[in-house]
């Protein structure tokens, strides 16, 4: 490709290159890409609170849309609830109090030192404000199932080291809160949550994961059962993605959520809740798809999907004019598209937008204009092809589909061989230290197994993630718990957590 143009009057601007071995130095890669691609500015002066910049916000907005659309299709209706939770609400369900109160930010007084009439928590999660309202709204079996959700920020005083997008004190998520007449209906909804995660997080965002049934000592505060998706970062550490919880009657009892059944009898509803965290999913999106040269995004959620780079525009006025017309046409078709008419050299522009992860680049110069053609560059294959301007929309459709499928395939490939069997402590240690999930016999994921899990935590700094959902796995080998040696009742997965 001819890109030297000695007549270009532009000052030689700073060359934007990015080259960090992601697999080897993931931590450095992650920190540097946040800065270079302007995902978040860490110079904000409240610890654990980030300033999200347009390049992450545009992507997360698209992620919210896909997730919410799927929830709405399943009958969830959006709500906006207040950010403040009265102390008495938060303290109504005993296990919930124990789990969340230590992390709460309290709001207690006004600017002129007046104590508020009661103490409020900045919501750490919203069960205790949704369920009192559901108790008012639900009267009879005809009102059920009742499915809600909100997109919201929540605040938790995280004491461990904070990390942008992965662990902070304010995060952006969706929370669903639902009520059902029967336990079966509630479990069906929990299953539905896992299917949503498969369709959206894996199907569209291209992030592979495994759903685990969490051990009893590690479930959501106030739940009967917790199911959570785990995926892995390039450094081999596990990160939890959406989780869904069977709350049983815990909150229905605490908030008097009752309905009249078909025979006129009063009954408690069954609640379920699900919490996909968009900012954390974003972390997985950039970690899975990025490469040594910067970000890569599935087309559907890319902050900018198409960048148009005019070449040698000063030589022919029609270059910029045509580029602008293409931009407008693509915009009207619903694409997120921009034009880079800055005075940087073309090569510099290419580096920059490749680092930012824009899936498709269109190059247009006097030569292309003459032959009514364009150069189309794809970020995933790093290949250029010549296309006819008249075929542009078809080409974008075809290439964007291929690109997203390709990124997903590459992510699945990375995820494929991370599970290995551990037959004894030595093997367990080796696997968890070598970027993987260890699959092992375990005495129990009931409370009686908690002691062995503590041993694993202490000796290997690893956690028992639970049982693989959708797989009935039988103990293998000597069929004894890898820690205490008692007969194993479960096969569990163990790994190092973020
Ligand atoms: Zn054991």
The class level of CATH for 300-403 reads alpha beta
Measured in Å, residue 440 CA sits from the centre of ligand 1 at: 11
Q: What is the pLDDT of residue 255?
A: 96
Residue 122 per-residue DSSP state? E
Q: Is the peptide bond before 145 cis (omega within 30 degrees of 0)?
A: yes
Q: What is the pLDDT of residue 146?
A: 98
Rounded average pLDDT over 215-229 = 93
* pLDDT per position as a tens digit, 263-316: 999 999 999 999 999 999 999 999 999 999 999 999 999 999 999 999 988 888
Write phi, then psi, for 282 (nearest 5 degrees): -60, -40
Task: Give 79-92 as a DSSP string.
Answer: ----SEEEHHHHTS
Measured in Å, residue 496 CA sits from the centre of ligand 1 at: 19
Q: How far is CA 369 from the centre of its chain?
A: 41
> How far apart (Å, rounded) are the C-alpha atoms in residues 22 and 291?
6
Rounded average pLDDT over 467-493 = 95
CA distances from 238 to 8, 284, 466 (A): 49, 11, 13
Please list the residues that pair with 272 across neighbouring strands: 178, 246
Measured in Å, residue 447 CA sits from the centre of ligand 1 at: 11
Asked if residue 9 has pLDDT above 80, the reply is no
Q: What is the pLDDT of residue 14?
A: 52
Q: Which residue has the higher pLDDT, 485 or 43?
A: 485
> How far apart (Å, rounded) are the C-alpha atoms in residues 297 and 304?
9
Measured in Å, residue 427 CA sits from the centre of ligand 1 at: 16
Rounded average pLDDT over 228-241 = 93
Write down the pTM of the prediction.
Answer: 0.93
> Domain 26-289, what fold?
BirA Bifunctional Protein; domain 2 (3.30.930)
Q: Name the band, by pLDDT with cuts 50, 70 and 90, for residue 231.
A: very high
Measured in Å, residue 320 CA sits from the centre of ligand 1 at: 69
Asked if residue 426 has pLDDT above 70, the reply is yes
Measured in Å, residue 481 CA sits from the centre of ligand 1 at: 5
Domain spanning 419-495: which superfamily?
C-terminal domain of ProRS (3.30.110.30)
Measured in Å, residue 310 CA sits from the centre of ligand 1 at: 65
Q: What is the pLDDT of residue 8?
A: 43
Strands of the sheet containing 84-86, edge to edge, are 84-86, 115-122, 106-109
258 within 8 A of 101, measured Cβ to Cβ: no
Domains of the chain, residue spans: 26-289, 300-403, 419-495
* Per-residue tokens: 3: 């890109």
Asked if residue 250 has pLDDT above 80, the reply is yes
Phi-psi region of 401 (alpha: psi -120 to 50; beta: other; left: phi over 0): alpha
Measured in Å, residue 482 CA sits from the centre of ligand 1 at: 7
Measured in Å, residue 442 CA sits from the centre of ligand 1 at: 5
Nearest to 312 by CA among 323, 301, 299, 300: 323
Measured in Å, residue 213 CA sits from the centre of ligand 1 at: 18
Torsion of the alpha carbons at 443, 447, 448 and 454, rounded to the nearest 10: 80
Measured in Å, residue 225 CA sits from the centre of ligand 1 at: 21
Asked if residue 11 has pLDDT above 80, the reply is no
* pLDDT per position as a tens digit, 363-386: 999 999 999 999 999 999 999 999
* pLDDT per position as a tens digit, 187-218: 999 999 999 999 999 999 999 999 999 999 99
Measured in Å, residue 432 CA sits from the centre of ligand 1 at: 18
Asked if residue 468 has pLDDT above 70, the reply is yes
Measured in Å, residue 216 CA sits from the centre of ligand 1 at: 14
Task: Give 161-223 as a DSSP string.
Answer: PPBTTTB-SEEEEEEEEEEESSHHHHHHHHHHHHHHHIIIIITTT----EEEE--GGGS-TT-
Asked if residue 446 has pLDDT above 80, the reply is yes
Measured in Å, residue 94 CA sits from the centre of ligand 1 at: 29
Q: Name the band, by pLDDT with cuts 50, 70 and 90, for residue 35.
A: very high
Asked if residue 336 has pLDDT above 60, the reply is yes
């Amino acid at each position: 490709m001819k890109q030297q143009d000695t007549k270009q009057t532009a000052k030689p601007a700073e060359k934007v290159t990015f080259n960090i071995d992601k697999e080897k130095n993931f931590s450095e890669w992650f920190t540097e890409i946040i800065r270079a691609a302007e995902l978040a500015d860490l110079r904000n002066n409240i610890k654990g609170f980030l300033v999200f910049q347009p390049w992450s916000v545009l992507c997360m907005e698209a992620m919210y849309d896909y997730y919410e659309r799927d929830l709405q299709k399943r009958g969830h209706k959006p709500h906006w609830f207040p950010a403040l939770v009265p102390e008495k609400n938060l303290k109504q369900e005993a296990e919930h109090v124990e789990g969340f109160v230590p992390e709460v930010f309290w709001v207690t007084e006004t600017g002129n030192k007046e104590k508020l009439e009661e103490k409020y928590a900045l919501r750490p999660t919203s069960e205790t404000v949704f369920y009192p309202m559901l108790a008012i709204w639900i009267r009879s079996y005809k009102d059920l199932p009742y499915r809600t959700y909100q997109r919201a920020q929540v605040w938790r005083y995280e004491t461990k080291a904070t990390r942008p997008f992965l662990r902070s004190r304010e995060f952006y998520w969706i929370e669903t809160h639902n009520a059902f007449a029967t336990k079966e209906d509630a479990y069906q909804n929990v299953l539905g949550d896992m299917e949503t995660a498969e369709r959206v997080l894996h199907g569209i965002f291209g992030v592979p994961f495994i759903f685990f049934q969490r051990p009893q000592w590690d479930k959501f505060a106030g739940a009967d059962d917790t199911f959570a998706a785990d995926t892995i970062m390039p450094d081999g550490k596990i990160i939890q993605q959406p989780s869904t919880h069977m709350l049983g009657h815990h909150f229905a009892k605490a908030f008097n959520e009752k309905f009249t059944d078909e025979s006129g009898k009063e009954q408690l509803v069954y609640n379920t809740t699900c919490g996909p965290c968009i900012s954390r999913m974003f972390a997985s999106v950039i970690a899975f798809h990025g490469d040594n040269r910067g970000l890569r995004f599935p087309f559907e959620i890319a902050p900018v999907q198409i960048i148009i780079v005019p070449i040698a525009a000063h030589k022919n006025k029609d270059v910029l004019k045509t580029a602008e017309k293409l931009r407008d046409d693509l915009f009207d078709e619903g694409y997120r598209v921009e034009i880079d008419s800055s005075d940087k050299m073309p090569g510099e522009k290419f580096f920059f937008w490749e680092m930012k992860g824009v899936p498709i680049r269109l190059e247009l110069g006097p030569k292309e204009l003459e032959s009514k053609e364009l150069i189309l560059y794809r970020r995933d294959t790093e290949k250029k092809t010549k296309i006819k301007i008249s075929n542009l929309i078809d080409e974008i459709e075809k290439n964007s589909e291929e690109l997203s499928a390709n990124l997903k395939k590459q992510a699945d490939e990375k995820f494929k061989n991370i599970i290995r069997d551990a037959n004894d402590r030595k093997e367990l240690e080796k696997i968890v230290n070598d970027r993987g999930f260890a699959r092992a016999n375990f005495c129990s994921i009931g409370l009686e197994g908690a002691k062995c899990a503590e041993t694993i935590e202490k000796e290997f700094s690893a956690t028992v993630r639970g049982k693989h959902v959708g797989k009935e796995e039988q103990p293998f080998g000597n069929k004894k718990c890898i820690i205490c040696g008692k007969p194993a009742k479960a096969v569990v997965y163990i790994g190092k957590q973020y």
